[in-house]
DNA sequence: TTGTAGGCGTTATCAC
DNA sequence: GTGATAACGCCTACAA
């Protein structure tokens, strides 16, 4: 497993190192026979170009940076996997850092990655947008940057987002159509764009169906099951359990379901529960959980494509891609129980 | 955000680049004042050493490779996060590749990482051990390598493992003590060391408690909920539902529970279910799932420590660390329902 | 079509 | 203490 260099090959074949180098970079003229010979010998010797040297001389790292809030949950795991898969086939390596839903950490991560000379960056911002100024500056310098999922509207940058408003609207309207009248929305972190958009969709559905303000609530939560449980506990204390919960994600929904069931509520007969950003557990829990499925894989891939386009062609235009999903209606929100 | 170099600093301060370089590597003699001046100016200019150049000249990449079977599930996500966290503070970057439970992919991953000059490798092998010869060769060359979790006994290499036999024994005996007489073990992939060890623990418990062969079964499965469901379906078809299921992981256990409940079995009154490698969902599902918790974070960190020791001191001894966990008894396996 | 030589940004080995 | 200078392994004008 000695790491051979082009020098070794050159010496062995009595050619110059530039010739060997050219054999690997087919943008240069080189006699077909010598090229073939070089490639063959290299293959035999098990030669692999030294990535460090290549990067140094090309002044690019062939590394891509990805900053996500976390990847303990299925969602960002899938995002990361999809991005890695996309870039691996293009010869890039993907460095992933997680911000732990902390803005300062996120900034540090982005800076670390940029200082480490990643050729481009995909960021799924955490709540709050204190770092936008930093991103703005990088963008102005022409740094390839794509935002994923949680976006500050105002920044002129390429984005890949899910149409939260629309699908939040659909999910809410589904609950209304099922006859649930008093619906509470557990909304996730306050400053998140996804939260705002979903709240917007939720309200739209309320307005459209003439549901009065006293018959719905928007309750800020985190993203963990425990937080869903706490909310339900608080509501029980105030004898304020609604007909239905529309939750920011499946984990919160599961927490809500657990607490409700533990206290004798029947789902969906007494209370309905709907999740968002569907995970595998939705189908496995009893009752099965209605949720909005997002095209996670496609979104991540698209983010990769946009970034790569931007890296290889610095004058590529800013691009915004909005994705749609599907509402998977399951037992947790269906009154006329069919299954 | 121009990337300054030591040259820029040298020019500005009218010193040589070697002096500047020395200011950053405190193993050389350098006057305190010049050093301070250099560091201060560098700071002001926002100078960051170019990692590519550093790596090239030092002939090490400051990268660590990690190969895991997957990281969609919580378990390997946590492993990866813990390893990254450990190495980040030491100035290393961690490159993660997943093998999709495929041996060939695993070999490709390991090779890719080594060719990319990672300074060391942590591997959680996938089922089957066809790649052991490759690893053996690398080890013989002195390549820093640590195995995690799924181990081929015979290879003389540093390992970090969980004491599967012991905790499988405990989990099984817990079921026996609860009065469950006919217990089936859904064991995961056949060729996996973790599978073998847990089967061993399971059998030991059977032997010790004089349970006859006709009263237990070991059924090979995968690691997904769907596979747990399939097994239950098959058993129902043959009217062969046991008193208790001891499952390879929580996902399979959840699949088992779902299928059982869908078919009117009560848990734990009719059938008990126990998982392994506890995940967050264990506490959230109804009934709560008994499972064996592993010190995931500590194990990953230990693997990092061993690897780092091996990298910085090539003559460091081979080390095997065996971890213990805890059996978290919950409602899914307790007949005298206390809660 | 091929070879020479300089450069990428460091570190490290010499002298001075 | 500090300054040249040669690596590290590759790419790429420019020359031949």
For A124-153, give one letter per residue: b (16+ CB within 10 A) or e: bbbbbbebeeebbebbeeebbbbbbbbbbe
Q: What residues contact residue B43 under an 8 Å CB cut-off, 6+ apart?
A: none
User: For residue B141, what are its two tokens?
Assistant: 């060359």
Q: Three-class SS string for chain B?
A: CCCCCHHHHHHHHCCCHHHHHHHHCCCCCCCHHHHHHHHHHHHHHCCCCCHHHHHHHHCCCCEEEEEECCCCCHHHHHHHHHHHHHHHCCCCEEEEEECCCCHHHHHHHHHHHHHCCCCEEEECCCCCCCCHHHHHHHHHCCCCEEEECCCCCCCCCEEEEECHHHHHHHHHHHHHHCCCCCEEEECCCCCCHHHHHHHHHHHHHHHHCCCCHHHEEEECCCCCHHHHHHHHHHHHHCCCCCCEEEECCHHHHHHHHHHHHHCCCCCCCCCEEECCCCCHHHHCCCCCCEEEECCHHHHHHHHHHHHHHHHHCCCCCCCEEEECCEEECCHHHCCCCCC
* pLDDT-based confidence at residue B173 (cuts at 50, 70, 90): very high
* Closest-CA distance of chain A to residue B204, Å: 32
What is the percent of chain B where pLDDT is above 70?
Answer: 98
Return the pLDDT at A338. Answer: 45
Residues A14 and A11: their CA atoms lie apart, in Å, by 5
Q: What residues contact residue B266 under an 8 Å CB cut-off, 6+ apart?
A: none
Residues A304 and A266: their CA atoms lie apart, in Å, by 44
Q: The domain A164-294+328-333: what is its CATH number?
A: 3.40.50.2300
Q: Could you list the pLDDT tens digit for every one of the 339 residues in chain A? A: 678 999 999 999 999 999 999 999 877 778 888 899 999 999 999 898 898 999 999 888 889 999 999 988 899 999 999 999 999 888 898 989 889 888 998 998 998 888 888 999 999 988 777 888 899 989 888 899 999 987 767 778 999 999 999 999 999 999 999 999 999 999 999 888 889 999 999 999 999 999 999 999 999 999 999 999 999 999 999 999 999 999 999 999 999 999 999 999 999 999 999 999 999 999 999 999 999 999 999 999 999 999 999 999 888 999 999 999 999 999 999 986 444
Residues B68, B98 contacting (CB under 8 angstroms): yes
**Average pLDDT for chain B:** 92
For B310-332, give one letter per residue: b (16+ CB within 10 A) or e: bbeeeeeeeeebebebebbbbbb
Residues B255, B228 contacting (CB under 8 angstroms): yes
Whether residue A72 and residue B72 make contact (CB cut-off 8 A), yes or no, is no
Cβ of B28 < 7 Å from strand D?
yes
Whether residue B141 and residue A1 make contact (CB cut-off 8 A), yes or no, is yes
A199: phi > 0 → left, psi -120 to 50 → alpha, else beta; which? alpha
* pLDDT-based confidence at residue B1 (cuts at 50, 70, 90): low
Residue B234, exposed/middle/buried by CB under 10 A (0-12, 13-18, 19+)?
exposed
Phi, psi of B231, deg, nearest 5: -60, -45
Strand partners, A96: A66
Residue A239, exposed/middle/buried by CB under 10 A (0-12, 13-18, 19+)?
exposed
Return the pLDDT at B86. Answer: 95
Residue found under tokens 């992981």: B249
Which of A173-187, B52-66, B203-217, B281-295 comes out lowest in average pLDDT?
B52-66
SS3 A244: strand
pTM: 0.90
Beta strands at A320-323 and B326-328: parallel, antiparallel or unpaired: unpaired
Q: Where in chain A is the domain with CATH 3.40.50.2300?
A: 62-163+296-325, 164-294+328-333
* CA dist A215 → A203, A220, A229, B29 (Å): 11, 17, 21, 75
Whether residue B262 and residue A74 make contact (CB cut-off 8 A), yes or no, is no
* CA dist A211 → A36, A177, A181, A216, B15 (Å): 74, 12, 8, 8, 75
Expressed in angstroms, the distance from the first to the final Cα of chain B is 60
Residues B153 and B172: their CA atoms lie apart, in Å, by 24
Residues A35, A24 contacting (CB under 8 angstroms): no
Angle at A162 between CA A157 and CA A166, to 5 degrees: 125
Residue A238, exposed/middle/buried by CB under 10 A (0-12, 13-18, 19+)?
exposed
Find the closest chain B residue to A88 by CA distance: B97
Whether residue A137 and residue B1 make contact (CB cut-off 8 A), yes or no, is yes
Return the pLDDT at B191. Answer: 81
User: For residue B311, what are its two tokens?
Assistant: 């990298």
User: For residue B83, what are its two tokens?
Assistant: 């390893």
Domain B62-163+296-325 has CATH 3.40.50.1370: no
What is the percent of chain B where pLDDT is above 90?
Answer: 69
Q: Which nucleotide is nearest to B30 (CA to C1')?
A: D1
Expressed in angstroms, the distance from the first to the final Cα of chain A is 60
Return the pLDDT at B338. Answer: 45
pLDDT in tens, B106-122: 998 998 888 888 999 99
Q: Which nucleotide is nearest to A29 (CA to C1')?
A: C1
CB < 8 Å to A281, chain B: 254, 281
Residues A7 and B31: their CA atoms lie apart, in Å, by 40
Residue found under tokens 């052991």: B132
Average pLDDT over residues B237-247: 98
Residues A83 and A94: their CA atoms lie apart, in Å, by 8
Angle at B273 between CA B267 and CA B277, to 5 degrees: 140
CB < 8 Å to A225, chain B: 280, 284
CB < 8 Å to A254, chain B: 281, 284
Of A52, A81, A116, the CB nearest to B98: A81
Closest CA to B292 of B173, B210, B200, B148: B173
* Distance, CA of B314 to C1' of D7, in Å: 24
Beta strands at A291-293 and A326-328: parallel, antiparallel or unpaired: antiparallel
Q: What residues contact residue A24 under an 8 Å CB cut-off, 6+ apart?
A: A39, A42, A49
Domain A6-49 has CATH 3.30.2130.10: no
Whether residue B56 and residue A53 make contact (CB cut-off 8 A), yes or no, is yes
Residue found under tokens 């007489």: B181
User: For residue B194, what are its two tokens?
Assistant: 């973790």
CA B197 to chain centre: 16
Residues B214, B249 contacting (CB under 8 angstroms): no
């Amino acid at each position: 497993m000695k790491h051979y260099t082009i020098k070794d090959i050159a010496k062995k074949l009595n050619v110059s190192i530039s010739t060997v180098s050219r054999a690997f970079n087919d943008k240069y003229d080189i006699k077909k026979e010598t090229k073939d010979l070089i490639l063959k010998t290299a293959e035999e010797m098990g030669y692999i170009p030294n990535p460090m040297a290549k990067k140094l001389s090309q002044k690019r790292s062939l590394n891509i940076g990805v900053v996500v809030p976390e990847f303990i949950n299925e969602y960002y795991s899938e995002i990361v996997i999809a991005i890695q898969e996309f870039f691996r086939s293009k010869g890039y390596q993907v460095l992933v850092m997680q911000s732990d839903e902390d803005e300062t950490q996120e900034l540090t991560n982005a800076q670390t990655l940029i200082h480490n000379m990643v050729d481009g960056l995909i960021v799924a911002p955490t709540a709050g947008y204190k770092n936008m100024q930093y991103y703005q500056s990088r963008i102005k310098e022409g740094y390839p940057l794509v935002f994923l999922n949680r976006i500050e509207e105002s920044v002129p940058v390429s984005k890949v987002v899910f149409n939260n408003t629309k699908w939040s609207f659909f999910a809410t309207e589904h609950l209304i159509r099922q006859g649930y009248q008093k619906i509470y929305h557990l909304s996730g972190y306050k400053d998140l764009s996804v939260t705002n958009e979903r709240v917007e969709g939720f309200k739209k559905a309320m307005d459209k169906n003439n549901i009065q303000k006293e018959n719905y609530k928007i309750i800020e939560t985190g993203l963990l099951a425990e937080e869903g449980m706490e909310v339900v506990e608080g509501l029980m204390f105030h004898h304020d359990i609604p007909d239905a919960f529309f939750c920011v994600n499946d984990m919160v929904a599961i927490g809500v379901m657990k607490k409700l069931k533990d206290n004798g509520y029947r789902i969906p007969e007494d209370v309905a529960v709907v999740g968002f950003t569907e995970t595998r557990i939705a189908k496995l829990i009893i009752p099965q959980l209605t949720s909005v499925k997002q095209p996670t894989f496609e979104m991540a891939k698209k983010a990769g494509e946009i970034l790569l386009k931007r890296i290889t062609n610095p004058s590529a235009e800013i691009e915004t891609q909005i994705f749609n999903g599907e509402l998977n209606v399951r037992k947790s929100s269906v009154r006329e129980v069919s299954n």
